Amino acid sequence: SQQGEEDPQALSIQEGENATMNCSYKTSINNLQWYRQNSGRGLVHLILIRSNEREKHSGRLRVTLDTSKKSSSLLITASRAADTASYFCATVSGGYNKLIFGAGTRLAVHP
């Protein structure tokens, strides 16, 4: 089952612009993770934020987590054409290490 929704479903921007993707979830979580998937390929882990963290940075990525609203956002700054991919959030809850994925956002960055 899917944990929640991501918005937007699709995002089209120009190189150099920032891209913001949002993720909402339904249950309490241990952590939330963001992944990237290039078309027809496997997933690449981008960043993990724990339930007691509010913000995390990694290079051009910035992730926020609001547990009171059960939502997270991924910001990609100064986007590049190579950032074109689908981005998924995934949550881990309870004592199991199962990832429950959101619906994903398809990002297209145009040169």
Which residue ranges make up the site for another protein (CB under 8 A)?
Answer: 1-2, 30-31, 33, 35, 40-45, 48, 88, 92, 96-104, 106
- List, in sequence order, every residue forming a beta bridge with 92; answer none if it has no partner: 31
Tell the smallest beta-carbon distance from residue 16 to another protein (Å): 27
**Smaller CB separation from another protein, 70 or 101:** 101
Tell the smallest beta-carbon distance from residue 43 to another protein (Å): 4
Tell the smallest beta-carbon distance from residue 65 to another protein (Å): 14
Residue with tokens 């190579």: 82
CA quadruple 110, 57, 26, 67: dihedral sign: negative
**Smaller CB separation from another protein, 51 or 77:** 51
Cα separations in angstroms, 81 against 12, 17, 19, 47, 102: 11, 11, 12, 20, 23
